Structure 1
């Protein structure tokens, strides 16, 4: 179901990503090359918010530097944790859910969630 969010596409004139609450979930919305991508904004490792460090279509978790491709939700780099406390990578719930994003005729964003 497409849900309109009260964010104008103009916000991407000054940034390439935003977080929007859609259907009770934080969704990271990224614009790259005139395409919009949506991904659940919660890291699969420890549930941290993916709020910072978005470069192109790659989002990095600020806690342990896990990296995700926002187009697919795939973790492309494992979390960096202490050697004495390794991450149980195979138990992580990945890929993260992704969502289609579109722009309405009046310039607002919609997310299919």
Structure 2
């Protein structure tokens, strides 16, 4: 995929990429094409996040927590900006027109206070 930041100004990129979950979605979709079920995407993001401890608590489900965060926060925000296509009814997400442009900002020196790690520093904390 081509990486150009011409379509997403820095100020907008900082706002769109302010959460680790949004950064993880962008990084993941840049690497893996296709349409993803929200639950499957959540599972993949949890699997790739080295900072999450093994799920030993019966009352805590990190995949479910991530799916909820995706569905209610990250995906609507990225969809409104034209970065992903999010079908609320089908609960699917796919790359959209501005994904590459926003992805170009992942490598910039922006203070992501909760970042660091794999995928350009986006898979280090949730």
Q: Calculate the TM-score normalised by the size of structure 1.
A: 0.29
Which of the two has greater helix per residue?
2
In our comparison, the structure showing a higher alpha carbon Rg is: 1
Which of the two has greater strand per residue?
1
Q: Calculate the TM-score normalised by the size of structure 2.
A: 0.27
Larger RCO (CA under 8 A, 6+ residues apart): 2
